[in-house]
Amino acid sequence: MVKIAPSILSADFSKLGEEIKDVERGGADLIHVDVMDGHFVPNITIGPLVVDAIRPVTDLPLDVHLMIENPDQFIPDFAKAGADYITVHVEACRHLHRTINLIKSFGVKAGVVLNPATPIESIKHIIEEIDMVLFMTVNPGFGGQSFIASVLPKMKELSTIIKEKGLNVEIEVDGGVNEQTAKLCVEAGATILVAGSAVYNTDDRKLAIAKIRGN
Ligand code: DX5
Ligand code: ZN
């Protein structure tokens, strides 16, 4: 069954703890945390302090999506704050193996993120060393954008490679995921669906999660 990772970017930050508990009760599998630095993307969100603050609130894995330049500088802080997954954008990494090894050195699962226009060739040679590939289906920076369907063939191609090699690598999708687009992602091989506005902009988060999962 596909896993659902609500993105707290669309939550009410004035009651973040309660917003996280609400999706945990609603059947979420991970909590997706969007970190933006105002350089790699045109928005600023949250840092390690917030990850540290929400860590005791939930037993769910914290899936920390770093949309920042020079991620190596901040990986130790996010790892110590309690991240379970840290994903870095291939477009922001000059020495990707080094960055992946740095994440893993803290016992944290490592993932690589591809923007919609980035080809899978950029990660083919590192696929055996990572735990997750995150496909952006919007250009990162904001919640509530429209799904870019041309990413799907790329996802399908990598999913086939992962199956052929018998690897244990999650395929996560982020951006514009809703009840309709979720189906397309699962068909293309996605194993984790991130959803921000489709979960948090509804009153019944349990129902929203069930619909995205396809129940
Ligand atoms: C976008 C973020 C996403 C965002 C998704 O840059 O990485 O995680 O929260 O929001 P929706 O699901 O509303 O597109
Ligand atoms: Zn994200």
d(CA 111, CA 30): 14
Per-position pLDDT tens, the chain of length 215: 999 999 999 999 999 999 999 999 999 999 999 999 999 999 999 999 999 999 999 999 999 999 999 999 999 999 999 999 999 999 999 999 999 999 999 999 999 999 999 999 999 999 999 999 999 999 999 999 999 999 999 999 999 999 999 999 999 999 999 999 999 999 999 999 999 999 999 999 999 999 999 98
Is residue 145 in contact with ligand 1, taking CB distance under 6 Å? Answer: yes
Contact 105, 72 (CB under 8 A): no
In the three-class reduction of DSSP (H, G, I as helix; E, B as strand; rest coil), residue 54 is classed as helix
Q: Is the CB of 140 under 6 A from ligand 1?
A: yes
Q: 7 C-alpha vs ligand 2 centroid, how far in Å?
A: 7
- Ligand closest to the CA atom of residue 43: 1
For 3-213, CATH gives: 3.20.20.70
DSSP string of 147-204, one letter each residue: P-GGGHHHHHHHHHHHHHHT---EEEEESS--HHHHHHHHHTT-SEEEESHHHHTSS-
CA distance 68 to 197: 22
With a 6 Å cutoff on the Cβ, whether 191 touches ligand 1 is no
Can you tell me the distance from the alpha carbon of 213 to that of 215, in angstroms, rounded to the nearest whole number?
A: 6
Q: Write down the domain spans for the chain.
A: 3-213
Lookup: tokens for 11: 């939550």
**Residue 202 and residue 212 in contact, taking contact as beta carbons nearer than 8 Å:** no
| Model pLDDT, residue 215 | 82
Active site residues: 34, 174
pTM as predicted? 0.98
